[in-house]
Amino acid sequence: MLKLIDGKQLAQKRREEIRQTVEQLKSRGIVPGLAVILVGEDPASQVYVRNKEKACQEVGFYSEVYRLPETTSQEELLQLIDDLNRNDAIHGLLVQLPVPAHIDEKAVIHAISPKKDVDGFLPQNLGSLLIGEPAFEPCTPKGCIDLIKQTGVDIAGKKAVVVGRSNIVGKPVAMMLLRENATVTICHSKTKNLKEELLSADIVVAAVGKSNFITGDMIKDGAIVIDVGMNRLENGKLTGDVDRASLEDRDCWLTPVPGGVGPMTITMLMKNTLESAMR
Ligand code: NDP
C-alpha cells in the first residue's frame, strides 16, 4: 500500500512550534520580522505573497509587504532593498520572483544582505551549504529533508536520486542529502539512463516541472518519493512530477500534490526568518 507523507499536517506542526518560540522571544522583546517585496501584478506572485503574509500572522511575526508598480525602476528597488538591509526590525528579506523584464533579477538577489537572505538563494548561503557551514538553507529543499525524515527511515547510507539540477531545488537538495550521508546522484535532461538510475534509488526527489513524468515502473519497492513538481494543467488542476496513480498499490512513500512539499516551503521560510531573528 502506498503511504502518503502528509506535508499539510507537518507544516501545521512546524508552524505551531515556530509560534511557540516566537512567543518566548517576544517576552524578551524580540519580534522576528519578514519583509516581502512584490513588483508588478503577476497573479501567481500575488497569491504567494498573500500566503507569506498570512503565514507571518499565524506564527506571530512582524511583516512588511511592499507592493510596487510594474513601472518601478531597478534603482528604486535597489534603494528599498538597501533600506530594508539596514532596518533592525527586519530579519528576513525577499523579493518575489519573477521581477519585470526591465529589472536584472541577479542584481536584485545579490543586493539582499546574506544575513537576511531567508530564501537561501545567495551564493554566500549556497556556498556555506556546500562546505558544511551554517547557512540559510533554501526553503523547498529544507522542507524535502524534513518530509523524508517523517518516514522514520535513516537517510545515512541510502541511495538518493535527485531529478532536476536547478539552483533553488535540485542542487541544494542534493547537497543536503549528501550532508545526511546519502549516496547522491543528480539526474537532468541529458541523463541517458534515468529509469535505471531511479530503479536503484531508496530516495527519489523529483524536481522536473513535467506532469506525471515519473511513473511506478521507475520506482523500486520501499522507496521514498518526494514530489516537488507543481504543474498547473489546462483544466486548472495542480499535478506533481510523479504519476501517483501508478504507485497507488505499491509499497512506497510519496508526498502528494497538493499537500506535500508545497505547504512546507513557506513554513521553512518562517523557520529561516525565526533562525535569523535568533542569531
Ligand atoms: P527548473 O525548470 O529550473 O529545473 C527543471 C530541471 O528538470 C532541470 O534541471 C532540467 O534539466 C530537468 N529536466 C527537464 N527535463 C528532464 C528530463 N526529461 N529528464 C530529466 N531531467 C529533466 O525547475 P525548478 O527546479 O525551479 O522546479 C521544478 C518543479 O518544482 C516545478 O514544477 C516547480 O513548479 C516546482 N517547484 C515547487 C516548489 C514548491 O514549493 N513545491 C518550489 C519550487 C519549485 P536541465 O538542467 O538539463 O535542463
Q: Give the model confidence (pLDDT) of 225-276 as tens digits.
A: 999 999 999 998 999 999 999 999 999 999 999 999 999 999 999 999 999 9
Per-domain boundaries in the chain: 29-113, 138-262
pLDDT digits (tens, 9 = 90+) for 147-174: 999 999 999 999 999 999 999 999 999 9
pLDDT digits (tens, 9 = 90+) for 61-89: 999 999 999 999 999 999 999 999 999 99
CA-to-CA separations, 233 to 89, 236, 239, 260, in angstroms, rounded: 41, 5, 7, 18
Pairwise CA distance, residues 23 & 32, whole Å: 10
Q: What kind of fold does domain 138-262 have according to CATH? A: Rossmann fold (3.40.50)
Active site residue 52: yes
3-state helix, strand, coil in the chain (%, to 5): 45, 15, 40
| Ligand 1 centroid, distance to 206 Cα (angstroms) | 8
CB atoms within 10 A of CB 233: 10
Do 72 and 38 meet the contact criterion of CB atoms below 8 Å apart? no
CATH code linked to domain 29-113: 3.40.50.10860
CB within 8 Å of 209: residues ≥ 6 apart: 164, 229, 231, 241
Atom 26 of ligand 1, nearest CA residue: 166
pLDDT for res 172: 98
Name the one residue in this structure whose C-alpha cell is 530564501: 119
Do 220 and 199 meet the contact criterion of CB atoms below 8 Å apart? yes
Active site residue 220: no
Atom of ligand 1 nearest to the CA of 208: 7
The pTM (predicted TM-score) of the whole model is 0.97
Bridging pattern class, strands 224-227 and 253-254: parallel
**Of residues 116, 117, 119, 241, which has the active-site annotation?**
119
Atom 17 of ligand 1, nearest CA residue: 189
- Which residues have CB under 6 Å of ligand 1? 140, 163-166, 168-170, 187-191, 194, 207-209, 228-231, 261-262, 265
> Predicted confidence band at 45 (pLDDT cuts at 50, 70, 90)?
very high
Same topology between domain 29-113 and domain 138-262:
yes
Kind and range of the H or E run holding 238: strand 238-239
Sheet containing strand 33-39, edge to edge, reads 62-68, 33-39, 92-95
Q: Tell which one of 205, 210, 230 to mutate to probe ligand 1, the residue whose CB is within 8 A of the most ligand atoms.
A: 230
Bridging pattern class, strands 253-254 and 3-4: parallel
**Of residues 52, 116, 142, 158, which has the active-site annotation?**
52
